[in-house]
Amino acid sequence: MAETGRILVIDDSITLLSKVKERLAKDGYEILTTTNAVANTALLKGCDLVIIDFHMPGYDGAQVLQALKKAAVQMGIEPLMYLHTTDQAEAAGYKKHGFDGAFAMKGNFDALSKQVQAAFRMIKLRKMQKGG
C-alpha cells in the first residue's frame, strides 16, 4: 500500500538525495530535497518529516536544525526532525542535538524505508493524542 506524507531530505550529497528520493517516492511519499536547508527553509511548508544530515560542509548541523525549528514555529507546523547518519554513537546522542529521533543506517535504503514508516506512525500517534 502506498504511503502518504511529505518529507524534506537535507544532505550535501546530490547522489544520496537522488537515491533517497527515488526510494521514498517509490514508497508513495512526496519528497523534497535540498543541499541548503538554511536558505530554503520555505521548503518546510507542509512537511511531516525532515531528514537531516548533521555533517554538511560549510554548515553547523545544530544551526541548521535550529533554523528549521524556528521556521517551523513561524509556519505553525511541527514536523518530526530526524538525524540521518551512519554513526551509531552520534545517533544515540540525537536528543542532545535536539532531534526527535535518528535514522542510523544511512545508505541502507530498505532500512530507511522501514524507519520512515515508523516515523510516520509516530506522527499519527502524536496527532491522535492531540486530537484526544
Partner 1 sequence: MTDQKTAAAAPADNEQSALDRFVLRRLHPDFLNGGTDLYRRAKTSVLFMVLGAAFAYFFTFLNVEFKNYGAAAIEGALATLAVVLIWQFKHFRSLVVVGNIEAAITTAALITAASIAGGIDGAALRLIPVIPIMALLLAGMRWAWAWLGFNSLCVIALYLVDKHGTHLPESFRATEPMHYENVAAWWRAWHGLTPLPAEGFKPEKWRELKMSDSIGGMAMALGMASIFEALKDQALRMVEQKNQELAQLFDNMRQAIFAFNREFRVVGQHSGQAKTVFRKPQLEGEHVLDLLFPNAPDYDPEFMAFKAWLDVVFASAPEAWNEMAEMVPGERVLNEFTDDEVFLTVEFRPIVQRGRIDRVMVLATDDTEKVKLAREAAEREAEFSKEMAAMKKLLAGGTQLFVSFMESATDRLSAFEGDIGPAPRMVNASEVEVLFQHAHTVKGEAKAFELADLEEVCHELEERLTDLREPAAMHGSTSTEPVFQELVEGIANARHHIAAVRDRFIEASPIGALVLEQVTVNRTDVASLEGEIRALIANEVDSPRARRIAKLADRLASRPFGEAAGRLQDGVPAWAASLDKRANFVVDGKEVLVPPQLARVLPGCLTHMVRNCLAHGIETPEVRENMGKDPVGTIKLTCIPGSAGPNILIEDDGAGLNTDRLREKAIQMGLKCVPGREWELIFASGMSTADKVDDISGRGVGMAAVKSDVESVGYELDVHSIPGKGTIFLIRHTSATKRTIPPPSLSMGG
Residues forming the site for partner 1 (CB under 8 A): 82, 88, 91-92, 94, 101-104, 114-119, 121-122, 124-126, 128-129
**Gap between the Cα atoms of 10 and 64, Å rounded:** 10
Nearest alpha carbon to residue 37 among 15, 6, 16, 58: 58
Looking at the Cβ atoms of 2 and 42, the one nearer to partner 1 is 2
- For the bound state, the minimum distance from the C-beta of residue 90 to partner 1, rounded and expressed in Å, comes to 10
Looking at the Cβ atoms of 74 and 88, the one nearer to partner 1 is 88
Looking at the Cβ atoms of 26 and 126, the one nearer to partner 1 is 126
- For the bound state, the minimum distance from the C-beta of residue 42 to partner 1, rounded and expressed in Å, comes to 26
DSSP states of 21-87: HHHHHHHT-EEEEES-TTTTGGGGTT-SEEEEES-BTTB-HHHHHHHHHHHHHHHT---EEEEE-S-
Looking at the Cβ atoms of 71 and 104, the one nearer to partner 1 is 104
- For the bound state, the minimum distance from the C-beta of residue 124 to partner 1, rounded and expressed in Å, comes to 6
- For the bound state, the minimum distance from the C-beta of residue 37 to partner 1, rounded and expressed in Å, comes to 20
**Gap between the Cα atoms of 112 and 49, Å rounded:** 13
